[in-house]
Amino acid sequence: MKIAIGDIHGKNCWKDLIDREFDECYFVGDYFDNYEETPTVTQIRNFKEICEEARKNNKIHLCLGNHDLHYLRGIEKSEKYSGFQWYGRFDIQEILEENIDLLKVVYQSGNYLISHAGISNTFLKSLNLEDPLDINKKFEENRMSLAFNGYNC
């Protein structure tokens, strides 16, 4: 069984899902910016736990979402989405940067591409790419090239 978990926004509902037997588990981003007033410290702790699980189990994969991307270094200040936590931004940035090696923009599982916002031909052309998996390398080279600004999606 393959599991996809999306848009947890600081909640810990994912714990019940990964307690099951699975072949692969994909978190598709948006680990932060909870709309139910979950404290930033709780959201950070939750993300740390997800990262710990991913480091222990190579079947767990983590994608970036727009509510994660806007905290990273190298992203324009205008690239902010609803729920952005100005007061906790540096702490969130730190935990994301500490775990950047776990975070990808896109994964492939069999014939399926897994990402937060989808991959269109227009997006690939805007990056001068043909292979969607090359997006990960492009992100490593230039984070801003992958901003979820609606134009690229």
From first to last of the 153 residues of the chain, give the pLDDT tens digit.
Answer: 899 999 999 988 899 888 888 999 999 999 999 877 789 999 999 999 999 999 999 999 999 998 998 899 877 666 677 888 889 999 999 999 999 999 999 999 999 999 998 888 888 888 889 999 999 998 888 776 666 554 444
Confidence at residue 144, expressed as pLDDT on a 0 to 100 scale: 67
Long-range contact pairs involving 93-102 (C-beta distance under 8 Å, separation at least 24): 95/44, 95/47, 95/48, 96/47, 96/68, 96/71, 96/72, 97/72, 97/73, 99/47, 99/51, 99/62, 100/72, 102/51, 102/54, 102/55, 102/62
Let me know if 35 is exposed, middle or buried by CB neighbors in 10 A (0-12, 13-18, 19+): exposed
Tens-digit pLDDT profile for residues 117-131 = 888 888 888 888 999
Tens-digit pLDDT profile for residues 92-116 = 999 999 999 999 999 999 999 999 9
Q: pTM of this prediction? A: 0.89
Confidence at residue 17, expressed as pLDDT on a 0 to 100 scale: 85
Confidence at residue 81, expressed as pLDDT on a 0 to 100 scale: 76
Q: Coil, strand or helix: which one is 55? A: helix
